[in-house]
Amino acid sequence: MESSSLTERHRFAEAERDALYKTVFNRRDVRGQFLPTTVPDEVLARVLYAAHHAPSVGFMQPWNFLVIRSQQKKQQVHQLFSKANKEAVELFDKDKQKTYKNLKLEGILESPINLCITCDRTRTGKPVLGRTHMKTMDLYSSVCAVQNLWLAARTEGLGVGWVSIMHEDELKATLGIPEHVVPIAYLCIGYVEHFKDKPELETKGWLPRMEISDLVNFEEWEGSAQSSDDQELLSTLAEMSDFPTGFPVR
Amino acid sequence: MESSSLTERHRFAEAERDALYKTVFNRRDVRGQFLPTTVPDEVLARVLYAAHHAPSVGFMQPWNFLVIRSQQKKQQVHQLFSKANKEAVELFDKDKQKTYKNLKLEGILESPINLCITCDRTRTGKPVLGRTHMKTMDLYSSVCAVQNLWLAARTEGLGVGWVSIMHEDELKATLGIPEHVVPIAYLCIGYVEHFKDKPELETKGWLPRMEISDLVNFEEWEGSAQSSDDQELLSTLAEMSDFPTGFPVR
C-alpha cells in the first residue's frame, strides 16, 4: 500500500476534522453569559455520555457525575466560592487586584445546571493497571472526562465554566463526598447569551496567549531543532499562531 | 426571543456535532498498531495547536511539548518502561498477571513520534488565578491539552497511546526536565494499521464498561433522582448505554 493511502485510511472527512478543530477553538470558560433556559435531558445525557467515553487509566472509569439543579444547593456552593474568592484576591499584588475584582469568575447561581465530576480513587481496587507508578493517573482520567464534556457541550451550544476557587474539604462536605473521592471539577452549565471570541483573561489583559513555537522543543527539555523536519514544524507553528482563533486550521 | 431559538442560536450544525461525538467514541489508546509512516509536520502542527487551545487555569498555559523522534531517546525511555512494567506485574494477583502479561501496553519504539506534555508549575509566578485553593488545577490544564491533542489526532487518522508505567523521576532525568516541571503524559503518536472498535481492556476482559446511569446522582453523593427531570435523564442514559460505541449518539 502506498504511503499516502496509509495516512488517509483512518482519517475523518475534512468537514468532520474541521468540526473538531472548530469546537476546540470556540470552546470557552463561560462565567457571565448564562441564560435560565432549561437544558433538555436529552442534551445533558449526550454530553454526559461523551464524558463517560473519556480515556481512563486501566479502564478504571473513576468518575461520578453529581447533577445539581436546586437553588438551595447552588447557594451553599456559591457561599463557598464567595468566601474563598475573598481570600484569593488578597494573594495578588495591588495592581492585579483591581483587574481581579472586575472579573466574573463563576456562574453558579445563574446556570441552570451545576455538575460536579469526581474521581473515586478506590473504584477498581488496588492495584490499577497504569497507575502503579504515576499515582495521579486516575485524577487525570476524570479531567479527560471534563474536557470531553466541555467540547461536546460547545457543539450543543451549551456554555461550561469550571469553578476552582473553593476549599476542597468544604465542597466535599457540602456535597457529601466521601474521603476516598476527589472532586475534580465543579462545572456551571447552560445556554448562553453569547460565546466570547477569545478567553476573557486574554482580552482583559490578565495574561497574553503564548506563542506555541516557544513551547515546542526536541528530544529533551529546552532541546532545539535537530533536523530539517524539526525546523519545518517550528516554522509551520509560527505561522499558525497568526490564525484567528475561532476558525479551523487548514 | 423564543426558548427554542435561545437553545439553537449557538449550536453547531448537526453534522458538526455528530463529528465531535464520532471523534469521542472512536478515540482509542493505541499501543500495538503503529506504522512507521512519517507524520507530516503540518499534521503534527495542527494537533499541537489544538493542544495549545485547551482551557488553562488563570490562562496559565502551563504546558510544554517535547517532540522525540530519535530512536536513541526512545530506547532510553523504553528501558524505563520495561523496568517499571516488571515491577508492576508483580503487584497483581496471580490470575490477573496472566492477562496483564498478554497486554501490549506501549508503542514507544514503533511509533514515529513520542511526545511528552508537561506542566510548568511556576509558569506565571505565584499566585495563579483559580489555583489559589485547588493546587492541582495547573496539572489538570495540561491534561486538557492532552485530551484536545488526542481527539484532534483521531480526526487526522493518527493513533495516540499514553504510557504511564514509568518512574516519574527517571523520566524527568532522561528528558532533562527540571524540578518545577511535571511530566503529565508521555505519548506515542503515529498512523496505525487499524483502530480497535472498543478499548482493549474491555474486549480482553480486564474490566467491563460501566453503566453510565449508575454513575449519575443528584444534588449530592449517592443522591437519588429528585424530580421527573432527573428520572427522565436516568432513563435516557440507560437507553444510551446500548448504543454501539463508534456511532454518534442521536
DSSP assignment of chain B: --HHHHHHTTPPPHHHHHHHHHHHHH--B-SS-B---PPPHHHHHHHHHHHHTS--GGG-----EEEE--HHHHHHHHHHHHHHHHHHHTTS-HHHHHHHHTS----TTTSSEEEEEEEETTTT-S--TT-SS-TTHHHHHHHHHHHHHHHHHHHTTEEEEEE--S-HHHHHHHHT--TTEEEEEEEEEEEBS---SS-HHHHTTSSPPPPGGGSEEESSTTPPP-SHHHHHHHHHHHHHTTSPTTS---
Classify residue A98 as exposed, middle or buried by CB count within 10 Å of its CB (0-12, 13-18, 19+).
Answer: exposed
Mean residue pLDDT of chain A comes to 94
Contacts of B25 in chain A (CB under 8 A): 53
Contact call for A19 and B7, based on CB within 8 A: no
B16 and A151 Cβ atoms separated by less than 8 Å: no
Residue B50 touches chain A, beta carbons under 8 Å: yes
Q: What is the pLDDT of residue A246?
A: 54
Residue B250 reports pLDDT greater than 50: no
Residue A223 touches chain B, beta carbons under 8 Å: yes
CATH topology of domain B27-206: NADH Oxidase (3.40.109)
Q: What is the pLDDT of residue B149?
A: 98
Q: How confident is the model at residue B4 (pLDDT cuts 50, 70, 90)?
A: low
- Percentage of chain B modeled with pLDDT above 90: 92
Q: What is the pLDDT of residues B195-209, one digit of tens each?
A: 999 999 999 999 999
To test the contact with chain A by mutation, choose from B17, B20, B194, B203 the residue with the greatest count of A C-beta atoms within 10 A, namely B20
Whole-model pTM above 0.90? yes
Contacts of A50 in chain B (CB under 8 A): 20-21, 24
Nearest neighbour of A24 by CB, restricted to B152, B164, B184: B152
- Closest Cα to residue A123, out of B214, B141, B28? B214
Minimal-distance CA residue of chain A relative to B233: A41
Q: Quick count: other Cβ atoms within 10 Å of Cβ A212?
A: 21
- Percentage of chain A modeled with pLDDT above 90: 92
Contacts of B195 in chain A (CB under 8 A): 10
Residue A7 reports pLDDT greater than 90: no
Q: What is the pLDDT of residue A208?
A: 95
Q: What is the pLDDT of residue A247?
A: 55
Q: What is the pLDDT of residues A94-125, one digit of tens each?
A: 999 999 999 999 999 999 999 999 999 999 99
Domain boundaries, chain A: 27-206, 209-237
Measured between alpha carbons, how far is B235 from B65 in angstroms, rounded to an integer?
Answer: 42
Q: Quick count: other Cβ atoms within 10 Å of Cβ A49?
A: 22
Phi, psi dihedrals of residue B132, rounded to the nearest 5°: -65, -30
Strands B181-191 and B113-120: antiparallel
Q: What is the pLDDT of residue A3?
A: 59
The complex scores an ipTM of 0.97
Q: What is the pLDDT of residues B14-72, one digit of tens each?
A: 999 999 999 999 999 999 999 999 999 999 999 999 999 999 999 999 999 999 999 99
Contacts of B37 in chain A (CB under 8 A): 3, 6-7
Strands B65-68 and A216-218: parallel
Please give the grid coordinates belonging to residue B46: 495542527
Q: How confident is the model at residue A250 (pLDDT cuts 50, 70, 90)?
A: very low
